[in-house]
Structure 1
Amino acid sequence: MKKLILIRHGKSSWELNVRDHDRVLMERGVIDAHLIGNHLKDAFITCNEIWSSTAARALQTAIIVSEYIDYNLDAFKLKRELYTFDSHELISQIKTCPDDINSLMIFSHNHGLTDAANILGSQYFENVPTTGVVIIEFKTDKWSEIKKGQTIAHFFPKNLR
């Protein structure tokens, strides 16, 4: 059994004149990342490995959330390939996860993240909002063989406030 935890980065700012890759979280993005991290802790959601896009907003979100679930940052992996807006690229990366990892947490971007959640999970989402979480389980022992799984939970900041 494999468990995939998809998390969209927090709300970011368009106010600074920087490349998209370098945009940072707004105050709301930081607050929502703490809210989601605390909720994951309270729900006893853990993972074996965390992968994050190299984009500043995804990395900031991942670091905040990881503090709540007592994740060892030595095992944290930054992946440029997760800086994608394409679901097929995102799913392709997920399928490269080593099979000894049973629970993988991914921090990435829309529209790829919402589309991947809809392709891989059993519940349809019009849009996974910023800092939204979708958890999907797969009845397989190999990440390379994941297809349609069971959406077991989702947490959106607006529902937790």
Structure 2
Amino acid sequence: MKQLILMRHGKSSWDYEVSDKDRPLLQRGINDAHLVSKTFGNHAPKIDFAYSSPAIRALHTSMICLRNLDFDLDRFKVDKALYDFSGDSVQRFVGKLDNDHQTVAIFGHNYAFTSLANTWGDQYIENVPTAGLVHIIFNVDDWSKVSKGTTERTIFPKHLK
């Protein structure tokens, strides 16, 4: 059985003249990342490995979440394949994950995460919001065989306020 946790980055700021990859989180994005990750932590499975897009807003979100989960950062990597908005690159990335990892967390972007949550999960999600988390379970032993799974849990900031 494989478990995938998709978490979209928190709300970012457009107030700075920086590249898309360098956009920081707004205070709201920071607060929402804390809120969602602490809520998830109450019932979170043991995460074997975590990955993030190299975009600052995704990296910052991942650090907030992983710290709140007391996650060992030796089992964390940044991968440029996760700086993806269509979902194609993320889908290929997941298919190549190490099969020794049963549960993996990925921090990234929309439209990719909404598309994949709907492709892989069994619940329709109109939009994975900023700082939204989707936990999907697959009844397979090989990441390359991931297709349709069960949406175990969704945690969206607006449901926690």
TM range (shorter): over 0.9
Distance 1:159 1:43 in 2: 16
**Identity rate, percent:** 43
Task: Structure 1: state its 5+ residue gaps.
Answer: none
After TM superposition, give the deviation of residue 96 of structure 1 in Å: 1.0
Contact persistence 2:81–2:93 (CA under 8 A)? yes
Which residue does the alignment assign to 2:6?
6
1:3-152 counterparts in 2 under 5 A? 3-152=3-152
The superposition leaves residues 71-127 of structure 1 with CA deviations (integer Å, 9 ceiling, x where unpaired) of: 101111100110010112211111111000000000010001100110111011110
- Match of 2:63, SS state, is helix
Q: How far apart, in 2, do the equivalents of 1:150 and 1:124 lie? A: 11
Is 2:45–2:103's contact at 8 Å kept on the other side of the alignment? no
Quick one: structure 1 residues 45 and 32, their matched pair in 2 at CA, closer, same or farther if it must change by over 3 Å?
farther
- Structure 2 unaligned segments of length 5 or more: list them: none
Whole-angstrom distance in 2 between the partners of 1:49 and 1:35 = 21
Aligned pairs, number: 161
Secondary structure at 1:158's aligned position in 2? helix
- The Cα of 1:46 is off from its aligned counterpart by 3.2
* Inter-partner Cα distance in structure 2 for 1:122 and 1:131: 20
Aligned to 2:158: 158
TM-score in terms of structure 2 length? 0.98
Task: State the TM-score, normalizing by the size of structure 1.
Answer: 0.98
